[in-house]
């Protein structure tokens, strides 16, 4: 026995798309069989049935209606699956045997163009990666808009996936060799890996601005898209090369910690984007997100943006007019993408036309402002008058959604179409006149002429009125429960004329529309360039509106390292609380003192203070005003943060390990022009380990990097470092006691904090009174018996290794080592090393390494 010819065809097509659900078109349904059916029925919650396939056992089957398939496809893709759409590519009337079917498109998480799950203000990128000497080369593009870029990613595979995560990339295309190295991390980061071993040679003109080492990644990506999309990709723009030194680099961890695009809870509300986004177009929303992802690191480029924002702030009423005009502009980038894909409809082209009609007004508004930067923006705008004129003559004012419903092409565009429409329209007028005439002849007032697809036109009378008519004039067509339907020779003749004209009109209209769509395709680059200009104007207007509303200040930049913020504020926290309650703070870093050690109680605002400094830096370098009375800033090349505590469950790493990995990434990659934020380093391990690591890191940054650094801690012993590290200065977030309760003042002041107020915070959290009182007793006891030495490294040694002779012989505590006579050579060597160790002359980090080595020797 063998499978039926149709199932054999299905299996043949499926063999070429093993990693995708195959939507196999049968009549009005897309069907799935075998394992696809079993899995899809569970994921999509649709009924699983079975089908006779020519074998003894029936095979699993499920299906979805073709008109509703898009929603089901969106659901599968959103969950990380691929869908191969298999259509009939042969007219069944001419088929000999099974109708020929072929896959016409593969929809993947990185290539979905639109749908209910697509955020109109977000890019949806797909990327390809290759290994390189520095790490990886990366090419990525948004298929819906055609925007494409290429860049280098330094580091290992985790650095690559952190970069992908920061861009919200859902699908990565790699060679089969690289696939095996990345598959585990891809699962952990929920990124779909796709294999493509061939390179495209069809679009080398798109790579003119891309350095040679990056071109293979772009070619691999383009070939994958050619293979899966199987249609024109003419809207893909030239790949831009993102030079790492031209942008302020912020790794994925820091973007998350600073809540630039989303909060730590994964919500937009409460992020910097949420605060700044006053854009009125989808294009502007995406552009703003891109700018926040990649702030500038060029002083001249930043100042040019700031001048544009300043111009718009000075022109309040003109800015409102510009924003009102922008509201009438649709998403030109994604409209261009649909034109290239051949999926554009009549309503889309009408939206394009209406958008282009706003451009002359927008250009005039910018020009008459008299501001140099706005006039320069105006000069770059292509009004696309020829495109607008063509669409105005071709497309009706209010076309329907479907291009097969008719009434898409404007009257006067095509003579033949006008003839068909005239015949159809006059025929309908004739039908109306005939209905009135028959009512008068028969005297049946409720007589009507109707139409359905089965019987065509008919004359209908209720049975109670049939006796009034001269039935010799009619041929009976159909008998209903309460009515009779008739036809006349005259009505038959007119029906043929009307229906023929309607059919030919719809056929010709569809043909004309496809021609119009093809004529628009060459204009795609101009439309995309216009979209880029419009989106920039939208972002600048948004920056101006937000800056004015929240009374932000114009930042200034210099070529040095000094950092001066007066009365700085965390813009999001300020917005979410009563502004009058927010306590602003200064942050001053000089060339002589560019490291702040921040102490103070929990909940006092240390983390908020550190974040606000970073956010002010980001806002300034994307070209926006900042929340401060004054901001004089250096150009920062990178921001690194280690804020908050979270396990990496996917990677199997503890809170402390995550803390160490993020810290290592910052210290290894930071330069003198970077900004480092470290919040309570070492809290994930024991006190002495934590203090040692914190001090060692501060010393290393101080001596070897010299970056602007904000370092908060609860280890008050570290405040003594102000005497040892010349560039370090102690500050604290103040608090006061009132009637036994702590009051957080949220004001950053000079010098170290005098106490931590930990028990007061516990009291605020409403722990039971018994615990609070017992804590106070224990604290007093600990403080009265505190014999700790001022040098942290001595504490570490005393804690980790008890050297013979340092503990009284009468003590009950066991010593680490046996009597010397019973020691091994290795143990003797360890003892000798400890005896000769110069504690005060050894840095904490060297000491930790040494002790680790000694422990390993003892273990062996």
Q: Which residues are annotated as a binding site for ATP?
A: 600-607
Q: Which two tokens stand for residue 179?
A: 């696939």
Locate the DSSP E strands across 464-570. Answer: 475-479, 483-487, 556-558, 563-568
Distance CA 560, CA 538 (A): 32
Residue 306: which region, alpha, beta or left (left: phi > 0; alpha: psi -120 to 50)? alpha
Distance CA 417, CA 412 (A): 9
Binding-site positions: 600-607
What is the pairing mode between strands 171-174 and 192-195? parallel
Q: Which two tokens stand for residue 242?
A: 């993102």
Distance CA 447, CA 438 (A): 8
* Cα 13 from chain centroid (whole Å): 34
Distance CA 694, CA 679 (A): 10
Distance CA 332, CA 856 (A): 64
Distance CA 722, CA 726 (A): 7
- 102 has which bridge partners? 87
Element at 137 (helix H, strand E): strand 135-142
- Phi, psi (degrees; rounded to nearest 5) at 779: -60, -45
Distance CA 102, CA 12 (A): 10
- Phi, psi (degrees; rounded to nearest 5) at 193: -95, 135
Element at 314 (helix H, strand E): helix 299-314
Quick one: which of 237, 232, 202, 223 has its CA closest to 339? 232
Residues 123-160, buried b or exposed e (16+ Cβ, 10 A)? bbbbbbbbbbeebbbbbbbbbbbbbbbbbbbebebebb
What is the pairing mode between strands 638-642 and 249-250? parallel
Distance CA 146, CA 335 (A): 11
561 close to 708: Cβ distance less than 8 angstroms: yes
Residues 581-616, buried b or exposed e (16+ Cβ, 10 A)? ebbbbbbebeeeebbbbbbbbbbbbbbbbbbbbbbb
Distance CA 609, CA 490 (A): 87
Sheet containing strand 49-51, strands side by side: 49-51, 59-65, 29-33, 21-26, 83-88, 101-107
Quick one: which of 75, 80, 292 has its CA closest to 166? 292
Distance CA 520, CA 730 (A): 65
Q: Is 116 helix (H, G, I), strand (E, B) or coil?
A: coil
Element at 744 (helix H, strand E): strand 741-750
Distance CA 708, CA 671 (A): 9
- Phi, psi (degrees; rounded to nearest 5) at 524: -55, -45
Q: Is 553 helix (H, G, I), strand (E, B) or coil?
A: strand
Locate tokens 């772009």: which residue?
A: 218
252 close to 160: Cβ distance less than 8 angstroms: no
Distance CA 753, CA 596 (A): 13
Sign for the pseudo-dihedral over CA of 200, 203, 206, 208: positive
Q: Which two tokens stand for residue 308?
A: 């544009």
Distance CA 302, CA 323 (A): 23
């Amino acid at each position: 026995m063998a499978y039926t010819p149709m199932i054999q065809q299905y299996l043949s097509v499926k063999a070429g798309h093993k990693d995708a659900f195959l939507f196999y078109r049968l009549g009005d349904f897309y069907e799935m069989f075998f394992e696809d059916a079993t899995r899809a029925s569970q994921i999509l919650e649709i009924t699983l049935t079975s089908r006779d396939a020519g074998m003894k056992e029936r095979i699993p089957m499920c299906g979805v209606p073709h008109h509703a398939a898009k929603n089901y496809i969106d659901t599968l893709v959103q969950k990380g699956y691929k869908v191969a759409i298999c259509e009939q590519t042969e007219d069944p009337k001419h088929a000999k045997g099974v109708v020929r079917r072929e896959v016409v498109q593969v929809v993947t998480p990185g290539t979905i163009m639109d749908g209910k799950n697509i955020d109109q203000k977000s890019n949806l990128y797909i990327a390809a990666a290759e290994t390189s000497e520095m790490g990886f080369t990366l090419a990525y593009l948004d298929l819906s808009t055609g925007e494409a870029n290429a860049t280098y990613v330094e580091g290992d595979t985790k650095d690559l996936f952190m970069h992908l995560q920061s861009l919200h990339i859902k699908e990565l295309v790699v060679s089969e060799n690289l696939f095996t190295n990345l598959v585990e991390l891809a699962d952990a980061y929920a990124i779909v890996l796709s294999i493509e071993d061939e390179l495209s040679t069809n679009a080398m003109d798109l790579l003119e601005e891309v350095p040679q080492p990056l071109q293979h990644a772009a070619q691999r990506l383009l070939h994958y898209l050619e293979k899966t999309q199987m249609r024109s990709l003419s809207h893909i723009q030239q790949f831009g090369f993102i030079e790492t030194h031209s942008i302020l680099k912020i790794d994925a961890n820091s973007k998350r910690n600073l809540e630039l695009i989303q909060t730590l809870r994964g919500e937009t509300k409460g992020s910097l984007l949420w605060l700044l986004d006053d854009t009125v177009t989808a294009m502007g929303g995406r552009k703003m997100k891109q700018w926040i992802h990649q702030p500038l690191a060029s002083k001249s480029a930043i100042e040019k943006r700031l001048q544009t924002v300043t111009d718009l702030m000075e022109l309040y009423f003109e800015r409102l007019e510009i924003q009102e005009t922008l509201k009438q502009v649709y998403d030109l980038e994604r409209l261009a993408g649909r034109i290239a894909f051949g999926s554009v409809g009549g309503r889309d082209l009408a939206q394009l036309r209406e958008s282009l009609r706003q451009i002359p007004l927008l250009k005039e508004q910018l020009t008459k402002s008299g501001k140099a930067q706005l006039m320069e923006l105006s000069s770059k705008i292509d009004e696309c008058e020829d495109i607008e004129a063509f669409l105005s003559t071709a497309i009706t004012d209010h076309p329907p959604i479907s291009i097969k419903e008719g009434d898409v092409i404007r009257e006067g565009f095509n003579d033949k179409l006008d003839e068909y429409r005239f015949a159809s329209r006059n025929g309908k007028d004739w039908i109306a006149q005939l209905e009135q005439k028959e009512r008068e002849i028969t005297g049946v007032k409720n007589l009507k002429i109707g139409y359905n697809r089965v019987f065509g036109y008919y004359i209908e009378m209720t049975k109670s009125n049939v006796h009034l008519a001269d039935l010799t004039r009619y041929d009976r067509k159909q008998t209903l429960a309460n009515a009779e339907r008739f036809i006349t020779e005259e009505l038959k003749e007119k029906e043929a004329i009307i229906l023929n004209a309607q059919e030919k009109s719809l056929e010709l209209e569809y043909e004309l529309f496809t021609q119009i769509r093809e004529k628009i395709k060459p204009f795609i680059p101009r439309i995309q360039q216009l979209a880029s200009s419009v989106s920039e104007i939208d972002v600048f207007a948004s920056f101006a509106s937000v800056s004015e509303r929240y009374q932000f200040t114009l930042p200034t930049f210099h070529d040095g390292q000094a950092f001066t913020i007066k009365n700085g504020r965390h813009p999001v926290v300020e917005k979410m609380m009563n502004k009058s309650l927010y306590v602003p703070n200064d942050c001053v870093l000089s060339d002589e003192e560019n490291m702040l050690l921040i102490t103070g109680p929990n909940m006092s605002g240390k983390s908020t203070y550190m974040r606000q400094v970073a956010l002010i830096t980001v806002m300034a370098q994307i070209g926006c005003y900042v929340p401060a009375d004054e901001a004089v800033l250096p150009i920062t090349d990178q921001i690194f943060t280690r804020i908050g505590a979270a396990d990496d469950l996917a990677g199997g790493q503890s809170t402390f390990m995550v803390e160490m990995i993020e810290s290592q990434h910052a210290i290894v990659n930071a330069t003198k022009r970077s900004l480092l934020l470290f919040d309570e380093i070492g809290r994930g391990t024991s006190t002495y380990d934590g203090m040692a690591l914190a001090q060692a890191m501060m010393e290393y940054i101080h001596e070897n990097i010299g970056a602007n650094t904000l370092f908060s801690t609860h280890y008050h012993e570290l405040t003594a470092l102000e005497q040892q590290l010349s560039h370090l200065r102690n500050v604290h977030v103040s608090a006061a006691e009132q009637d036994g309760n702590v009051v957080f003042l949220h004001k950053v002041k000079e010098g170290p904090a005098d106490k931590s107020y930990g028990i007061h915070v516990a009291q605020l959290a409403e722990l039971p009174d018994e615990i609070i009182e017992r804590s106070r007793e224990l604290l007093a006891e600990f403080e009265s018996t505190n014999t700790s030495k001022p040098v942290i490294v001595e504490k570490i040694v005393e804690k980790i290794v008890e050297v013979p002779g340092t503990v009284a012989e009468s003590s009950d505590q066991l010593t680490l080592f046996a009597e010397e006579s019973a020691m091994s050579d290795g143990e003797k060597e360890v003892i000798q090393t400890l005896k000769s160790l110069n504690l005060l002359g050894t840095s904490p980090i060297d000491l930790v390494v040494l002790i680790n080595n000694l422990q390993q020797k003892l273990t062996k």
